[in-house]
């Protein structure tokens, strides 16, 4: 084998045919598996136009595949990173017999494509490695699926786990943060010959990106609790399953369709549904799209194919709409087929609005009176409720109906940060510095002028509970100091901006490790035991040793952060409640927290106590030990979650003799 350097890259010249029995069957090649187990592998190029890899026994391990036979093939590694086979006599240097860019493995380089060549049938897709040191194909693949209207899908085996949503001319509908800028650009190429994607960015994935989490006609909102809700005018198909936080059965219309007199209701701000059962036309108007959908009783919804310049094209869905999520920004409109009764109901609401508008002048005096009364009540509540002021003090509270707040009769000092300081520290709250998001708002990594790294939790303008959580978190942990609690460094209150500043923990949340196949390998059993032990110490401090008895009420893997040495720190006290030393629990009408971690008496009756945190801790321990999520646990023999599985099997299961029994949970045990 002779290697020459050329301006196009390294060249491998042809050798003689390989004589190895029936190893090479045709110019396309069919080869047996014979892995290279030592350093004696040989790479050759042969005259039909093939590259072959041989092991030390001259058995073929791997080969390129070409339907064209040439007499003078050469193999080249181009400057782009593309390894190609071409005919040296061909005047067109880009007429490749085979190229590595058609098989991108786990990395997409500039010039590669994802998608299917509709002429040759070749599909280009990404494949994960089996492990960090084993490049064999793993369980995950990432495809541009051309079924219906093209969209990007991630699969684990044959099952879809994530869907980026269809291309709308500007972005993928399920990834509103991916927009073209001065550094990167992306788009879709789609014509009669090829369909492919060009992507130079990655999307942030959260629980609502789990494929079909809420079932048909269910919508997922990461800021709501629970995540899944039925679309307006829909209801759960199996209410009992939804009570158990199993939303996979989805929703159905309250009033069924009959295909006569049906119409459409507009739903806004959503990630568009799965488009594998869809049809599209690039030239139709939205009105023409509506007519086409209305004529087909199987058409369940429609929208514009391209949202640029006021919208154009037609995209319609056949049969059920699945994998919808609510987006706080950049969501799209979709028109969903509804019964005539639902359409009339929506129209009657419009008429009611008109009547109210006409009657509005007659109600001015009453409204002014109401505003006056409201102002008086607001001032009275302000005197009674603790308010964070620009002095950084948390005032007293005299609400007799809330025993947990009666202890706050003294002022708490808390350092204040200037808005400009935090803006500079987070690069103007750039997307690149965003490290998390929750019901309160978004969390950013920041670096102060002195070099100190901090985590800045910024109250979202759309957050409904954020202000309550902001005040509650300061009240609960402003003076708590423990090695297993995240330290609150200060806050910022300036205009409409409200932010909390914490110590920065580089390893982020426990959830990122125990549920990830690769990262979980970093947590050996001593580390897992240390994490469990640290959480226990933090809880004991909250429940017994701190000046206030604190019940966290939202203990879960994502609320346990890890420092540089993988020591755990409990975070996010927005849902917490504080008590006097002789109080151990209470009852509430407002149940908050995360389903799957809530104790039964709290989820059903609103009764919470230190035992509620202990229950959540038990679920967390099972997740740390097993590496499985309680609400995502799957077993071939039953539909129980992880907690139900553990509590209903006998020791015989280890011998393959699982026996399920009924167990009643005693809140006092």
| Spatial contact of 414 and 478, defined as CB atoms under 8 Å apart | yes
| Spatial contact of 174 and 165, defined as CB atoms under 8 Å apart | yes
| Spatial contact of 456 and 446, defined as CB atoms under 8 Å apart | yes
Q: Say whether 321 sits in a helix, a strand or coil.
A: coil
Length of the chain: 669
Q: How far is CA 110 from CA 10, 83, 184, 262, 442, in A?
A: 19, 14, 11, 48, 32
Beta pairing class for 549-551 and 497-503: unpaired
Q: In terms of Cα–Cα distance, which of 204, 251, 255 is closest to 228?
A: 251
Pairwise CA distance, residues 12 & 74, whole Å: 6
Pairwise CA distance, residues 559 & 539, whole Å: 13
Beta bridge partners of 505: none
Pairwise CA distance, residues 135 & 105, whole Å: 9
Runs of H (alpha helix) within 210-285: 239-243
Q: In terms of Cα–Cα distance, which of 76, 75, 26 is closest to 48?
A: 26
Q: Is there a catalytic annotation at residue 323?
A: no
Can you say whether the dihedral through the CA atoms of 601, 603, 606, 612 is positive or negative?
positive
| Spatial contact of 303 and 335, defined as CB atoms under 8 Å apart | yes
10 Å Cβ neighbour count for 13? 14
10 Å Cβ neighbour count for 543? 19
| Spatial contact of 178 and 330, defined as CB atoms under 8 Å apart | no
Q: In terms of Cα–Cα distance, which of 466, 461, 458, 464 is closest to 433?
A: 458
457 labeled binding residue: yes
Pairwise CA distance, residues 293 & 335, whole Å: 10
| Spatial contact of 455 and 446, defined as CB atoms under 8 Å apart | yes
| Spatial contact of 500 and 422, defined as CB atoms under 8 Å apart | no
| Spatial contact of 196 and 115, defined as CB atoms under 8 Å apart | yes
φ, ψ of residue 5 to 5 degrees: the values are: -95, 130
Q: In terms of Cα–Cα distance, which of 442, 406, 408 is closest to 426?
A: 442
Distance of CA 140 to the CA centre of its chain: 16
Using alpha carbons only, how large is the chain's radius of gyration in Å?
30
Catalytic annotation, pick one of 274, 554, 572, 613: 554
Q: How far is CA 50 from CA 15, 53, 73, 123, 299, in A?
A: 11, 10, 8, 20, 49
Beta bridge partners of 454: 446, 503
Q: What residues contact residue 111 under an 8 Å CB cut-off, 6+ apart?
A: 80, 82, 101
Beta bridge partners of 228: 220
10 Å Cβ neighbour count for 433? 17
Q: How far is CA 422 from CA 164, 387, 392, 451, 552, in A?
A: 32, 22, 16, 13, 28
Residues involved in catalysis? 554
Residues making up the binding site for ATP: 457
């Amino acid at each position: 084998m002779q290697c020459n350097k050329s301006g196009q890259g390294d060249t491998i010249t042809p050798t003689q045919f390989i004589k190895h029995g029936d190893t090479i069957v045709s110019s396309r090649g069919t080869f047996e598996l014979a892995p290279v187990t030592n350093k004696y592998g040989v790479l050759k190029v042969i005259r039909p136009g093939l590259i072959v890899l041989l092991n030390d026994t001259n058995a073929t391990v791997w080969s390129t595949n070409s339907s064209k036979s040439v007499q003078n093939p050469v193999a080249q590694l181009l400057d782009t990173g593309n390894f190609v086979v071409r005919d040296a006599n061909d005047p067109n240097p880009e007429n490749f017999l085979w190229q590595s860019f058609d098989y991108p493995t786990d990395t997409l380089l500039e010039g590669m494509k994802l998608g299917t060549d509709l002429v040759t049938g070749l599909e280009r897709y990404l494949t994960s490695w089996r492990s960090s040191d084993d490049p064999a194909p793993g369980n995950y693949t990432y495809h541009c699926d051309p079924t219906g209207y093209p969209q990007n899908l991630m699969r684990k085996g044959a099952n879809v786990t994530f869907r980026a949503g269809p291309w709308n001319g500007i972005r993928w509908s399920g990834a509103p943060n991916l927009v073209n800028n001065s550094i990167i650009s992306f788009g879709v190429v789609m014509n009669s010959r090829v369909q492919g994607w060009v992507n130079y960015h990655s999307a942030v994935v959260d629980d609502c990106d789990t494929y079909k989490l809420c079932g048909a006609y269910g919508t997922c909102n990461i800021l709501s609790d629970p995540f899944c809700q039925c679309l307006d005018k829909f209801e759960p198909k199996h209410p009992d399953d939804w009570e158990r936080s199993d939303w996979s059965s989805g929703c159905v219309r309250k009033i069924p369709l009959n295909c006569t007199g049906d119409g459409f209701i507009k739903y806004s701000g959503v990630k568009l549904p799965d488009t594998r059962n869809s049809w599209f036309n690039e030239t139709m108007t939205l009105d023409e799209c509506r007519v086409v959908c209305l004529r087909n009783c199987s058409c369940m919804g429609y929208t514009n194919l391209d949202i640029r310049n006021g919208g154009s094209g037609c995209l319609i869905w056949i049969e059920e709409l699945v994998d919808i999520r609510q987006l706080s920004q950049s969501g799209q409109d979709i028109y969903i087929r509804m019964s005539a009764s639902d359409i009339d109901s929506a129209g009657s609401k419009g008429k009611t609005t008109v009547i109210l508008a006409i009657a509005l002048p007659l109600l001015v005096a009453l409204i002014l009176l109401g505003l006056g009364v409201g102002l008086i009540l607001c001032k009275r509540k302000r005197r009674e409720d603790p308010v964070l002021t620009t002095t950084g003090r948390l005032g007293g509270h005299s609400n007799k109906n809330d025993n947990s707040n009666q202890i706050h009769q003294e002022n708490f000092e808390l350092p204040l940060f200037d808005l400009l300081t935090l803006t500079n520290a987070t690069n103007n709250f750039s997307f690149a510095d965003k490290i998390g998001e929750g019901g309160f708002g978004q969390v950013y990594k920041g670096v102060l002028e002195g070099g100190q790294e901090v985590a800045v939790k910024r109250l979202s303008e759309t957050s409904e509970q954020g202000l309550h959580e902001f005040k509650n978190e300061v009240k609960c942990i402003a003076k708590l100091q423990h090695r297993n609690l995240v330290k609150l460094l200060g806050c910022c209150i300036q205009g409409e901006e409200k932010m909390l500043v914490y110590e920065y923990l580089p390893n982020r949340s426990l959830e990122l490790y125990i549920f990830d196949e690769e990262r979980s390998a970093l947590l050996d059993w001593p580390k897992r035991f240390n994490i469990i032990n640290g959480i226990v110490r933090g809880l004991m401090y909250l429940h017994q040793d701190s000046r206030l008895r604190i019940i966290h009420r939202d203990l879960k893997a994502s609320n346990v952060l890890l420092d540089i040495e993988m020591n755990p720190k409990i975070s996010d006290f927005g849902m917490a409640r504080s008590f006097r030393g002789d109080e151990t629990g209470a009852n509430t009408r407002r149940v908050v927290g995360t389903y799957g971690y809530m104790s039964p008496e709290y989820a059903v009756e609103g009764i919470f106590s230190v035992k509620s945190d202990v229950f959540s801790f038990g679920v967390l321990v099972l997740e740390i030990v097993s590496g499985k999520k309680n609400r995502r646990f799957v077993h071939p023999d039953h539909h129980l979650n992880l907690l139900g599985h553990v509590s209903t099997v006998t020791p015989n299961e280890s011998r393959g003799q699982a026996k399920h029994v009924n167990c009643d949970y005693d809140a006092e045990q």
